[in-house]
Structure 1
Amino acid sequence: MRQFFLRLQFLMLCLSLSASLFAQPAIQWQRTLGGSDEEYVRSVIQTADGGYLLSGRSASPAGFDKSDSLRGRVDAWIVKLNAAGEKEWDKTLGGIYGDDLGKVAQTPDGGYFLAGASYPGGGGDKAETSETGELWVVKLNATGNILWQKQLGVENYYNAGVRDMKMLPDGGFILAVGAQDIGGYDNLNQAFLMRLSADAKVQWVKRYDGLQPRDAVSVQCVSLTSDGGFVLGLETTYFEDHPDVYHIVKTDAQGIVQWKRVLGVLEDGQASVVRSVSQTRDGGYIVGGTSKALAFSEKSERSLSTDYWVVKLDRSGQKIEWEKTIQADRPENLIDVLELADGFVVVGDSESSNTGGLDKTEPNRGVLSTWLVKLSNAGQIMWDKTLGGSFYDTPNASTATRDGGFVFVANSASPVSGDKTEPSRGGADYWIVKLAPENLPLPQTTLRINAGGPDFTTATKKLFIADKYYAGTDRTSSIASGDILGTTNDVLYRSARSAPSFSYNIPVQNGQVNVTLHFAETYFGVPGTKGEKGGTSSRRFHVNMEGSRILTNYDIFAQAGGALRANQVTFPVMVTDGILNIDFLTGAADQPRVSAIEVISTGLNLAPVADTYIQAAQFLNTNFGTSSTFEVKYSSGDISKRRASYLKFQLPAQTPVISAKLRVYGHNHENNKGILLHAYGVNDDSWTETGITKQNAPAASTASLGFVAVNDVYQYYEIDVTSFVKAQQQSGETLVSLLLNDPSNQNTRLIFNSKEAGSNFPQLVIQTTNSSARLGEEEVLVESKDKQPSIVFPNPVKDHFTVSLSPEHAGPISFEMINAAGKSRSVPAPQNIKPGENTELNISGESFHTGIYLLKVKSDAFTEVVKVLVAE
């Protein structure tokens, strides 16, 4: 019986480990970057274009990944990568001795702000000479060229350095600074916050004391809080050699202390050192660091060595909601805690092997490896992951990414080994690793978000989910009551996300989506509020979608026709990376505000689940499934030259296909003639990418579905395959296989990118809904089936037409025309419009093209839509 239970325990342990391993995020890509000597990476940010900027220092001359020669002994080294991790540019910056611009942020104009330590001396890129060692701040443009630079000091202190930096909503910066007291006892370290304007003018400097007199105080990290203030982590060391503790300080926007919190015990040998602190989405705080402490009143688990210790505080910063000691058998060093959608990722390094009963489930790859631990929102370990090569790979910074994953940067001296796929360039290099989202929410064809508010279901049973997928300055506003004209869904418009800048990064299926933004002005022009005197031009802001400007200085008050009125705009957007990016940016006045967002998919870009080619003769049994290309060629005289390609796509479930087009990117490899590429349907979907050969490939099941002429120009070539895709779906198939071939025996080689190519993948572009059918999606519309409708005549309409208004309208009445893409435009109307009477509208100067439109008639009573045809 005892052996049975031992076997059962072993089985449960294996199942537990398997579940943990299965949950780990995959490496999307990684890059090793460096020169022939030593590099030390200190920070990483994701840039507005989806790429990444790394900053640190380098002792290497030009060579390998480093383009510039040294200025001094050690210089700042900045590297810009694109979204796929490929280097776009790098810059070396420094003086004749040594400099460090280890902290970086992107500015609203697309440039970069860097801050760090400046060693004594000038020369090189430095415009000023420092005698005592000061802060050096540099503004770069989008391509890395210096726009301006300054050296800053802290009065009566020397050897200043930047420990952390964050950009502020007004374009300025907050710097966490450490410096030494010129006249103090033993020149102890001191901690400061320094607030800079956007052009690096010092606005104020505040110093923060230790827990007792004569403490050495070092500031480790700073983060912004939702009230405009700051929370910082201090490392406080008693002069009498007492141990460190977590020392958390919360300040207001002027750096004035509001509260403090000490976490740790004041006993020798039980040091606890804070490394990360930030405010969480629920208004509390997450604190991370390392601890040697035994269990005590606020720490439930005993540290065996130097372990990760993570603490979740409530909104007041005083009450512990949960805390977790994360253990292994050797020392660990925590460097960051990232908040993700469903918990927290702890980033650090480890010397430990995996030892039964502890929290580390994977062995180190080398001497020092990166160790990641995922915690749930309640502090429970969900998985852990060890990454690195055979020597040492120690992380120094990390950041969450807009797709729901994250990246970390490490100092790496490992060769190709373990998880490292690229060799070391020199003694130590930058190593950046991009981790995929664990469970990216399944893309939906319809998604509605109540910006700044909770779940809300409209009168027409449409669910707007609670606010999510946002990033940037986390600030919302709402009013408790108030009648919002033009809608029955008042609750939806009373809340909003409103801040100087923020974004939404929404998982969607690739393809075209209609995005509707809902607005209502609930501050400017509202009687009885501080903004009562405001009106037109009081709030003007910009909106970008997928990197393109779609609204410039948008004025909610003007567009809606006053305060407390619902208004919405709709735009068709093409999404190719699975994430819809919407950026709200400060414009000419005040700050952006949005009440709700709707995303309705009208078409999908499906990537292949498998693609490859086959070849005859001596390649009869050769599989080409891992190739970055697939090919087509047919020669009647030489069978060894014959090639054909196969692609397989997964159709979306329960989404009727209206049209389907196959798009492949490539060219005629041999000449500039237009060679006809044909597509055929294949009923047998059992072939696999790594198993198919000429010997076992399924035959075509249909005649040619269509063709396209492929010439020597690299581009997408498109073939309509609607008939086969619709037939497959209607017969209950969820997979679609297609064969590409040249039936004309033109003996010419066509080469196309496969899904392994890294860019310009094959696509099956399908339309799933009629993009002009907006009636069912307009959340401001009230179903009017029980109301007498308005009537348009004549219909088709030209420059002028008449609307016989429903007598059930009430209050001010407005008109909008919505085109097939869902974009709306107001129609000028006469004054003193009365319900139940005829109103003539004139659209002669509005440049409406021929086609079907929806005329939206809005009043305080209800909103209705009438379909009209605009004729020539």
Structure 2
Amino acid sequence: MKSTLLPFICRTKNASGTLFLKPGTLPFRYEFNLDFYVPYARPLLLLVLLFYSANLFAQPVISWDKTYGGNEDDVLEKLELTTDGGYILGGTSKSGISGEKSQAGKGSADYWIVKISADGTKEWDQTYGGSGYDQLIAIHQTSDGGYILGGRSDSDAGGDKSSDDRSVTEGGKGDYWIVKISSDGTKQWDKTIGGTGSDFLTSVKQTPDKGYILAGFSQSGKGADKSQDALETSFPHDNWIVKLSENGDKEWDKTFGTKYYDYIVSLEITADGGYFVAGNSNATGSAFQWYLARFAADGSMQWEKFIPTNGLGGLTVGQTTSDGGYILGVTTELPNQDYVVVKLDASANLVWNKSYSGKYFETENSIENLVSITQTKDGGYIIGGYSNGDAGNEKSQNSKGVDDYWIVKIAEDGTKQWDKTIGGLYIDYFSGLVQTSDGGYLLGGSSESWAGADKTEGYRGGSDFWIVKLAPETENQFLVFSSGLLNVTLENGTTTASQSVNLAASADSTAVTFTKSENSDWLTIPSASLGKLTFGMDATGLAPGKYTATVTAAAAGYISATLTVKLTVKPANTGTTVRINAGGGAYTTADGKVFEADKYNGGLDRTNTIGNFDILKTEDDELYRSERSAQSFSYNIPVTNGEYVVVLHFAEIYFGAPGGVPKGLRQRLFNIDFEGVNRADEYNIIAYAGGPMTAVEEEYTNITVSDGILNIDFLNAGANQPSVAAIEVIPSSEYVNRIVLPALADVHVRDGEFANQNFGASGLLEVKSGSEDVTRNTYLQFSVRGLLEKDALISAKLRIYGYNAENTGKTNVSAYGIDNNEWTESGITWENAPVGGFIPLSYADVNDEAKYYELDVTEHVRAQFGSGRIVSILLKNPTDRNRKLYFHSKENPSGNAPQLVILTTAPYFAETRINQEITSPAAFPKSENGKSTVYPNPVKKQFTLKLSDKHEGAVSLQLISRLGRAYDLALPQQKSAKTEVDLSGLSLNKGLYLLKVRSAAATEVLKVLVTE
């Protein structure tokens, strides 16, 4: 009867779930029936895995891979961690001197041993063989630092083999061949152990007495080294173990099993110095059973057990576990082979069994061959084998070639934690793995793949050893704050404040602890937990100045997260901060700035307002819907004498706005003077904002007031009348410059069948993670060349406008830093996209509400001051929640494009600002109002510059790219009315450039759009 209750539920034949025992004295046999049928449990299985996906177990990353081989077939069989931190690799080779193989072959195939260091560097290799076929099966480091090698040989004496084959019958050749070598690979002795027929070694281990135990199966009868008769003489196939002394002399041997087909697949040394063997048996003569047995150190059997397979397939490995029980690895039978893992307790009662597989096409299960299973340091297990499957069922990644390594990490109860597909572009067969001293894994097998996918080196011959090092799992478990910085300004005295931040972990049940830096009594930290956290700041008793504290969130086995808290304490009277809503009433911004109703103005009293329309590039629309606008006007603001920064806010709400007149290019031009000094000449709101109904801020630094009144004059410059929406006057010592930078590039990439497609023109950016053809990541790029001082950077926040398109719940979007800035919006695809950092910079939870979501990327931006000041950021969902997130790109007509919001105490070099877009560049008007002009514009290879009359003498010309790169252009030394400028000798990308025209009398900046 097939069980359909739950996936992975197994039932024994009786209701109590106990084992059926055959009566008798020890040794005795247990038999029990595993009644389950895994394939029909797939729908429930998927639900279980979706539930567990919330735990966010991450795949470990590949640290490095290495290929070792000669000019023919080299097949890796075993690998092991060595006491010096390196690794020993053992296999079978048909190669001569070539590639990494330094010695000629001895026969048709030989043992080949390669010793490598911890980073994969080859230290030495050695070849051992006779004149025939010698196949290495096992290798094990010994207590003296050397190694014991074991395998099967049909060679007679010769080469490295000191004894003839033991067989006395034609066609029955093949014995156990044991070779002992020193730590540098020097052969110390060898032993041929066999009966009169064929014998097949499967395992060799050093015993506590420094001897050796050999395990395998034999087709020999009594004779030669075999002391017992075969259990069935017509077609013998029995389990055979042999005990050797330290110098390789045989001490005893034992033949056991049934009169049918028996073979051992693995042997373990038990805690009491005995032996545990696992294998398969055709004990009934009709159906295979799994076979388990325990032996004392002297070879006496303690018990043996037979477990019917119910057609699942044979054992490939069996091991003891730390709880005294057993873990078994099984590969199910064709046509749909799966990994199956069975856990037994110390009495061999069933605890659980679980199945793991991928998909081959959409409707068929793929073929997976389980090779090894190892208990890990955390009490769970790691399963290794090879697979031809794509993503589906328990497999999260598509195949890389024909066959790939497929690794599955499971918890102590069999719950899948992560899986990883590793492969080249052709055939890769997995042989084994070890957990390394740093907590990672070393995987090994045989590869026929050329360089590509995960394989970095080409093949040497028919097949090669291929080793892959995975980083420690602890590097894949992390904590992360939703923002890495809290920044607060308070007056000294008794003022307090609080700010909140979220903390997430790569496993939802993680228990965390908090610590804070010394001398930070002013900071109150909340109880340690995941989720929303509120931190308190108290300026009581603190002297004016800047204070910084760090809070570290930690958890066992996790990379910690750090939160920086900055507190600025200012004296009660440090100067005068004034904020005025020009032409409007009192208003408080979204970030808490308080603007007074319009005051301190002089000149013509004329204001302008617009209705409840959207103002782009701001959350404070109301601040920009009113303005003071007249032929000329001034503000005379009472302040304490000192140095100030003035921030002016503008938005064009008449030209090109609802109810206004159509937009032109030079309809409003005005000058701005501070304290009688001109600081802005022919200011054009539309040009600097990028269009009408769009907010723009201008910061003017180093303004000194000595008479108690700050004078600001707005003066007509020949086109309509000046206007201003709001004014901020801030003492230089307290000024924080807020800069909103638009994206240079924004694009998403997709996997699967879309992996080679570019989506650079899309109006939506997508983020999603899941199985085949589902995963989408977004790439963003910004220029921060205008930031002058690294140490002045307070914070950098990425703002992305979007929503969850498939669910009303919260879905994580995380930001990762990218050091590679070579990608382009029009050229990037899934296949060539750069890799981001492993630990997210910050994250946000996105629901179905369309709004701006904010992520802290301060440290990554700060790091780019030494890397060309271009910032690339990757957005992805690390939780495999299969929920699509949409974000607006700069191509989206909504205007809600990605922004990088910078807070800095230093000036921003506005000339490299890149949010000045030409929205209608088909033609520029001829010179008017004293302005030079460029035509045609857009520009291909040449353009004509018509100079303004205000230029005198020699003129210099410089073309400045969006990234701030300057190109000096050759011009006549004397001014002429029209000058032909040739760009054909420059290597220019398409896009917007600034053209700086400079003479002794004037300097002006024009915009040029290059299309070829």
TM-score in terms of structure 1 length: 0.47
Higher alpha-carbon Rg? 2
